[in-house]
Chain A
Amino acid sequence: MPTNQRTATDARVDVRKTYKLYIGGKFPRSESGRSYEVLDGRGRFLANASQGSRKDARDAVVAARAAFPKWAGATAYNRGQVLYRVAEVMEGRRAQFVAEVRASEGLTERRAEAVVNAAIDRWVWYAGWTDKLAQVLGGLNPVAGPYFDISAPEPTGVVGVLAPQRSSLLGLVSVVAPVIASGNTAVVLTSELRPLPAITLSEALATSDVPGGVVNLITGRTAEVAPWIASHRDVNAIDLAGAAEAEGIAWGDLELAAAENLKRVVRPAGEGSDAVEPDWTRTPDMSRMTAFLETKTVWHPKGR
């Protein structure tokens, strides 16, 4: 028996992780070739993440646009099933989510578990909404004439999402799930300093039934990439939640850029120009879904 054989207790060589972006259902490196170090709450190294560039955002918008017709055209019931399946995969990766949320946000084990539970529950909550939106928001309108007059909510299109900086999983789920539940596709700029739960969510999305391109996640510097998403003419709406506490960003500038092609804008919480991150543990209402919906009204003649 060779004497130099290692025993199980010997130290292993560290597997230092370098994560990639999630665009169009694939995991590409950043076009720029850059990456940055992700640290935990105490400044210790966790992993390397891709530092996405404006061109990655551009590619993500192309992927989201390509995925839009099919995702918007899927039946609401089917979308609900697909999203529920994501919650199942997230449940399977619970331990990884807990560890990453704990490390990223500096929480206790118990707190981190509570956050992951809330995030998965929220995903399920939004999955349940897919086939109920039209019943709640649409319907038959009373009109003075021989017509059926029907209103139905329709998805807006490609939505840019600046994910919350502080709440790396619950906040992320709270802004991404309402966008895609109604049939939009999303280009998500993750939390700059706490991207790991988002990266794991992208792996959950890739291994569930969500078609490639429906959710695209870009890690990197928010102040660098966000203006390009806000000014992109092929993005139909933008959620500015992540502008709160982001380094070097004034959300008013992003709203100004977004106005160029009349994007729907969801402003961050807070008064005036001070954006603050809301308490994501509070039970949501429909507002994040309705913000990215348009109403289509059909007039159909009927006999007397």
Chain B
Amino acid sequence: MKSISPAVRVVAAPSDSTSAPSVDPTGRARDLLGVSRLTNSALTSWLHGLPGVDQVGCEGRAAGLGTRSIKTTSKAFAIDMAISMIDLTTLEGADTAGKVRGLAAKALHPDPSDPSTPSPAAVCVYGDMVATARAALGDSPINVAAVATAFPSGRALMPVKLADTRDAIAAGADEIDMVIDRGAFLSGDYLGVFREIAQVAEACVREDGSRARLKVIMETGELVTYDNVRRASWLSMLAGGDFIKTSTGKVSPAATLPVTLIMLEAVRDWRDLTGEMVGVKPAGGIRTSKDAIKFLVTVSEIAGDDWLDPFWFRFGASSLLNDLLLQRQRMRIGAYSGPDYVTDDSPSLY
């Protein structure tokens, strides 16, 4: 692992990918596929031409990577790295402005007893809470991510999805988490999914020409097979996603290690093919520091250390942060800490 302090890296964007897209996704897709017109059958034969995933091998590899022993200074580094990669998330029907402000306050000062604790990369909320989150975060480098396009089901007409996206951008979102139409994907309408992503990516361009980063949620728990995960990853990157993200967190199974491994292979191969980097975001179901460290090991081993950066890898999580903080306190004070020493984010029962 590199020895850069993760605390300061959220600010720096290693590339200019926040500016307007330099390539037209459809044109690039035509070039990559070697076709004169992008049709569904061209996309189908390209995606189905990808090598199949060896399920047993993939799960075995993931399980093997999960057995690495990360201790002492490496563990301290990994914990700070993981904290700085979190998209601190609240996506509940019962969200209020107060809860979002509380989450933003937690992002600004994750552990008030230790100011050296790094901040998470972003706060992830529903579109109508973006302005509240932005105001609460002030001019801190923490981004505001908004879920859009009729999250979590994605069942809405295209104009609604685009309006959803533009509203979030107008309210100040730095990142957009969109969901793909899984029904269309599973029924083989790859071109429909491609256009959907490309149009949302276009809607991410602000009036001043800068661009919000687009995370494409594939909802791998509904894609049934690892082959589909690989195809959806390539399709999302082809259509111009800046990040590929596993899940909404509303469907189980959410972010598993094998699925994330397949996505990391995809972004690695995509860079070999096009020279561009795409981020990866597992979301949902990652609750313990131990799990998070397994993911970091996998990132380092599969994609490479270039992805070991909050700009290119994120955790979509809420309860994970508390567990990381407890581990951090444990290493600092030399005794086990308890839930009394971190904020309680569980929804109030009143």
Contact = CB atoms under 8 A, between A and B. Distances in A.
B71 to A, nearest CB: 12
A119 to B, nearest CB: 31
Contact of B338 (A228, A234, A257): A234
Contacts of B337: 233-234
Interface residues of A, number: 12
Contact of A257 (B335, B339, B340, B341): B335
Contacts of A235: 338
Contacts of A234: 336-340
Interface in A226-242: 228, 231-235
A58 B288 CA distance: 14
A260 interface: yes
A228 B335 contact: yes
Nearest to A232: B336
B335 A231 contact: yes
Interface string A209-247: 000000000000000000010011111000000000000
Contacts of B334: 231
Interface in B322-344: 334-341
A233 B338 CA distance: 5
A115 B312 CA distance: 66
9 contacts: A61-B336, A228-B335, A232-B335, A233-B335, A233-B337, A233-B338, A234-B339, A234-B340, A260-B335
B83 to A, nearest CB: 20
A156 to B, nearest CB: 13
A107 B341 CA distance: 47
The interface size bin for chain B is under 10
Nearest to A230: B335
Interface of A: 58, 61, 65, 228, 231-235, 257, 260-261
Interface string B294-337: 00000000000000000000000000000000000000001111
Interface in B23-45: none
B335 A58 contact: no
Given A232-B335, A257-B335, 6 more contacts: A58-B336, A65-B338, A231-B334, A231-B336, A232-B336, A232-B338
Nearest to B334: A231
* Chain B interface SS verdict (over half): loop
A60 to B, nearest CB: 11
Nearest to B337: A233
Q: Which of A58, A61, A232, A233 has the most CB of B within 10 A?
A: A233
A234 B338 CA distance: 5
Nearest to B338: A234
Contacts of B336: 58, 61, 228, 231-234
A148 to B, nearest CB: 24
Contacts of B340: 233-234
B296 to A, nearest CB: 21
A234 to B, nearest CB: 3
A233 B336 CA distance: 6
A231 B335 CA distance: 6
A58 B326 CA distance: 12
B309 to A, nearest CB: 31
Interface in B87-105: none
A234 B339 CA distance: 7
Contacts of A232: 335-336, 338
Contacts of A228: 335-336
B287 to A, nearest CB: 13
A228 B334 CA distance: 9
A261 B337 CA distance: 10
A228 to B, nearest CB: 7
Which 8 pairs of residues, A with B, have the shortest CB-CB distance? A234-B338, A231-B335, A233-B338, A232-B336, A233-B337, A58-B336, A233-B341, A233-B336
A228 B339 CA distance: 16
Nearest to A58: B336
A139 B6 CA distance: 57
A139 to B, nearest CB: 30
Contacts of A65: 338-339
A234 B340 CA distance: 7
A261 B335 CA distance: 11
Nearest to B339: A234
Contacts of B339: 65, 234
Nearest to A234: B338
Most buried by A among B335, B337, B340, B341: B335
Contacts of A61: 336, 338
B325 to A, nearest CB: 13
Nearest to A235: B338
Nearest to A260: B335
A234 B337 CA distance: 6
Nearest to A231: B335
A233 B341 CA distance: 8
A114 B333 CA distance: 47
B332 to A, nearest CB: 12
B259 to A, nearest CB: 28
